[in-house]
Amino acid sequence: MYSRLYDELFRRVPHHPQLTLRVSREARQAMAERQAKFLCSIARVSEPVYLEVGPGDCLIALAMAKHARQVFAVDVSTEITSGISPPPNFALIQTDGSSVNVPSESVDIAFSNQLMEHLHPDDATTQLRNIFKALKPGGRYFIVTPSRASGPHDVSQHFEDVATGFHLREYLLDELIDECRRAGFGSFSAYVGKDGHYLRVPLWLVRATERLTALLPRRAGKLAPLRLVLGLRVVAQRSA
Tell me the pLDDT tens digit for each residue of 112-138.
999 999 888 899 999 999 999 999 999
CATH class of 2-237: alpha beta
Crossing angle of helices 173-183/203-215, nearest 10°? Answer: 140
Give the model confidence (pLDDT) of 186-201 as tens digits: 999 999 998 889 999 9
86 pLDDT band, cuts 50/70/90, is: confident
pLDDT for 24 beyond 80:
no
Residue ranges per domain, the chain? Answer: 2-237
146/221 Cα distance (integer angstroms): 12
In tens, the pLDDT along 25-80 reads 788 889 999 999 999 999 989 999 999 999 988 899 999 999 999 999 999 876 66
Residue 236 pLDDT > 70: yes
Rounded-to-integer distance, Cα 149 and Cα 71, Å: 33
Give the β-pairing of 135-145 and 107-113. parallel
Mean pLDDT of 200-220: 84
| φ and ψ at residue 193, rounded to 5 degrees | 125, -170
User: What's the whole-number mean pLDDT along residues 189-215?
Assistant: 90
Q: Is the peptide bond before 121 cis (omega within 30 degrees of 0)?
A: no
What mean pLDDT value characterizes the chain? 85
Please enumerate in sequence order all residues whose Cβ is within 8 A of that of 102, keeping only pairs 6 or more positions apart, or say none. Answer: 51, 72, 74, 91, 93, 134
Model confidence at 155: pLDDT above 60: yes
The pLDDT score that the predictor gives to residue 23 is 57
Least confident of 184-188, 190-194, 213-217, 234-238: 213-217
Q: Which residues contact 136 (CB under 8 A, 6 or more apart)?
A: 49, 105, 106, 107, 108, 238
**pLDDT band for position 17 (cuts 50, 70, 90):** low
Residue 3 has what pLDDT?
57
